[in-house]
Amino acid sequence: MRDAPNDLGLSGLVLEGLGKLDQGITIFDQHLRMIAWNDQFLEMCDYPAHLAFQGADFASFIHYNAARGEYGPGDPDVLVAERVEKARRFERHQFERARPNGRVLEVTGSPLPGGGFVTIYTDVTERRNQKARLQQLVEERTHALQLSEARLKLIADEVPAGIAHIARDMKVLYANRRFAGAYGRTPEEVIGLYASDILHPRTLSESARFFEQSRRGALVDFEMRIELPDGRFKDIRTLLRPETPSSGEVIGFYLLSIDVTRRKATMSALMGSQKMDALGRMASGISHDFNNLLTIILGNLVPLAEELGEGELVADYLAPAISAARRGSALTQRLLTLARREQFAPEPTDIVGAVEEIHTLLRSSLPRSLEIVQEYRTDVPSALVDRAQLEMALLNLAINAKDATGGVGRIEIEVAPYDLPPEEAELLHLPVGHYVRIRFSDDGCGMSAEQTERVFEPFYTSKAAGAGSGLGLSMVYGFVKQSNGAIAVDSAPGQGARFTILLPGVELRAPAEPTPTAETIPEAGAAELLLLVEDDMQVRRTIRRQIAALGYPLIEAETGDEALNLLDHIEEVGIVLTDIDMPGKTDGFALARHLAATRPEIAVLLMSGQASLTQPDDGALSDIPALRKPFTDAQLTDALSKARQRARRDISRGMSIAERSSK
């Protein structure tokens, strides 16, 4: 610290001590003359030593700075005058001055009681740099947090679940888009509301006990059906997790809700499918015994009626019984066709006949208060469809109509030929040609435009909760598309619904290779010995009578093993008519396979009362004719003819191969 050289008193010692500080100090009197300073002041401000002396004018320092450009552009005299004038006010002041060398000085001036002022110069460069670094770090961390929050918000909004943060008093603190959207609101609209402002009163009442459990600190998972503001119901699985700070007291809840409506519908549909499979298997087993009974009934009543001839007794008693038995056989076959699940197998189908048969089934299963009317033309061509799936589609439409009408009303089924014009064909993405058009109409409650647009979607249903799985009409749509057809629906609220189905006519199928017929293959004599294999004695007796009436000599076997023994000892057997399902090691398929390998000249004909006559995927059993019990004499005659034709064809094919091998 500099002062008068001869000043060695107390004040001098104090000033010498201040000279040890890291800060610069200057003292100017009331005339702005320097009376004291330290070396740090000169060093910080980069002043030459000759500027500082006792009595130095304040303006000289200002002029030195202005000359070297520390105050920026401008007239130096003006810049000096402004600062000197300000200093003469002797007011307390504090400011920062950035020097050209990059250092930042904090200047603090305080007036003295006797006039003048003392000024302290502090180098705050490092402090400012650290503050800038901290500010930059804060900005970076803030930006990172904002990005993280945005990512978390995006994830929370996109996950297929409703997420919410709820305070202990049931006030919503946070909600993602799915949670808010379920109640027709945005997250911003939901935040700040109470649960009672959002949830249906019944939902709030039923879920209160679960929130109470979570309020006590428990982790709660539960499922319940909730009602939404638009009247829809959804099955929701909810997970509640309590929010507990360090104090351990629950101050809120974290909620996650998952819509399980579709999963439950899928499980219900799966269970229904399993029930249908079980029903099909059970019906298939029952059908064997039932069709055996019908075989016995028809096999005895028909010959009796023929023996008695025309008369009142036959007309009043036998004819109705025979007709009822045949209807029972046809009805059993239709039910089994609907129950079994097979590969899609389209074939030319009489649509009118199929509609009439399904009408009989519907008439016995739908309420009598629901009228079913059929309208069809006589020139309707056959369509290329899987008959079983067609009947299932019509059944689904009928069930849908029953629900729409409440079981009281009218169903109309119209069948007519339809020539698809080019412009409509292009719209439907179908080839131009002849189609069969089925119109299935009801006078029920109808559907809105939105329901009509979504009616074929899987799991979509407009019925009340638990009243439908939403799969029936999607199955109809799948059948039509699989049949290379088209389906449309016209409906309006209160005006019923009309489904229009277009199915391709047989001419739209590629021509198949011609198959041998009775006219192209010579017919063998009817005197061949026939072996009848049937384990049911009454059924065997009935079929034996049918065979004998056709002029065939025959022998009988009760089992496949017994038939094999007879075949080993009797060379004259030319035809084997065998039941498929028989006790013992050898069933009908095994017997047919054995004959194909050892006695290919014997014609084989299978029969069964089961639902399906599908044969194993075995080359030895391909194209073997099969009869479903009960069968008529005409069906038996035709099947025996086909069996003989197949045997001769196989023998001819074997001889051709042998001839080529010998050459």
Residue with tokens 């050459």: 663
Mean model confidence pLDDT for the chain: 81
Give the single-character DSSP code of 161.
S
pLDDT for residue 606: 92
Three state DSSP letters for 278-304: HHHHHHHHHHHHHHHHHHHHHHHHHHH
Give the Cα-Cα-Cα angle 508, 510, 512 (nearest 5 degrees): 130
pLDDT for residue 465: 42
Quick: pLDDT tens for 134-163.
Answer: 999 999 898 888 888 778 777 777 778 889
**pLDDT band, very low/low/confident/very high, at 303 (cuts 50, 70, 90):** confident
pLDDT for residue 522: 37
Q: Which of 375-389, 465-479, 584-598 has the lowest mean pLDDT?
A: 465-479
Quick: pLDDT tens for 323-359.
Answer: 777 767 766 665 555 555 445 567 888 888 888 888 8
pLDDT for residue 26: 92
**pLDDT band, very low/low/confident/very high, at 658 (cuts 50, 70, 90):** very low
**pLDDT band, very low/low/confident/very high, at 10 (cuts 50, 70, 90):** low
pLDDT for residue 284: 63
**pLDDT band, very low/low/confident/very high, at 440 (cuts 50, 70, 90):** very high
Share of the chain above pLDDT 90, in %: 24
pLDDT for residue 339: 52
**CATH code for the structural domain at 529-662:** 3.40.50.2300
Quick: pLDDT tens for 156-190.
Answer: 777 788 899 999 899 999 999 888 888 888 999 99
Is the pLDDT score of 511 beyond 80? no
Task: Give yes or no for a contact between 274 and 253, defined as CB atoms under 8 angstroms apart.
Answer: no
**pLDDT band, very low/low/confident/very high, at 520 (cuts 50, 70, 90):** very low
User: Tokens in use for 585?
Assistant: 């090691």
pLDDT for residue 390: 87
Provide CB contacts within 8 A for 331, sequence distance 6+: 360, 361
pLDDT for residue 412: 92
Structure-model confidence comparison of residues 73 and 1, the more confident one: 73
CA distance 123 to 308: 134
User: Tokens in use for 312?
Assistant: 């009142």
Question: What separation in angstroms does the CA of 640 have from each of 134, 437, 506, 526, 621?
Answer: 100, 38, 28, 10, 16
**pLDDT band, very low/low/confident/very high, at 506 (cuts 50, 70, 90):** confident
Instruction: Kindly state the average pLDDT of the residues 60-81.
Output: 89
Instruction: Kindly state the average pLDDT of the residues 609-625.
Output: 67
Structure-model confidence comparison of residues 7 and 267, the more confident one: 267
pLDDT for residue 4: 44
Structure-model confidence comparison of residues 526 and 100, the more confident one: 100
Structure-model confidence comparison of residues 471 and 438, the more confident one: 438
Maximum C-alpha span of the chain: 165
User: Tokens in use for 439?
Assistant: 């119109």
Q: Which amino acid is at 97?
A: R
CA distance 479 to 473: 10
pLDDT for residue 9: 57
All CATH 3.40.50.2300 domain ranges of the chain, comma separated, are: 529-662
All CATH 3.30.565.10 domain ranges of the chain, comma separated, are: 347-508
In 239-256, which positions are buried (b, 16+ CB within 10 angstroms) versus exposed (e)?
ebebbeeeeeebebbbbb
Is the pLDDT score of 661 beyond 80? no
Three state DSSP letters for 347-363: EEECHHHHHHHHHHHHH
Instruction: Kindly state the average pLDDT of the residues 576-604.
Output: 90
CA distance 548 to 243: 88
**pLDDT band, very low/low/confident/very high, at 301 (cuts 50, 70, 90):** confident
Is the pLDDT score of 458 beyond 60? yes
> Does this model's pTM top 0.75?
no
User: Tokens in use for 108?
Assistant: 């603090």
Is the pLDDT score of 79 beyond 80? yes
Closest CA to 362 of 405, 436, 413, 417: 413
The fourth-level CATH superfamily of domain 347-508 is Histidine kinase-like ATPase, C-terminal domain (3.30.565.10)
User: Tokens in use for 615?
Assistant: 């044969």
pLDDT for residue 55: 93
The fourth-level CATH superfamily of domain 159-259 is PAS domain (3.30.450.20)
CA distance 162 to 179: 4
pLDDT for residue 320: 79
Is the pLDDT score of 1 beyond 70? no
Closest CA to 47 of 70, 29, 18: 70
All CATH 3.30.450.20 domain ranges of the chain, comma separated, are: 10-123, 159-259
Identify the CATH class of 10-123: alpha beta
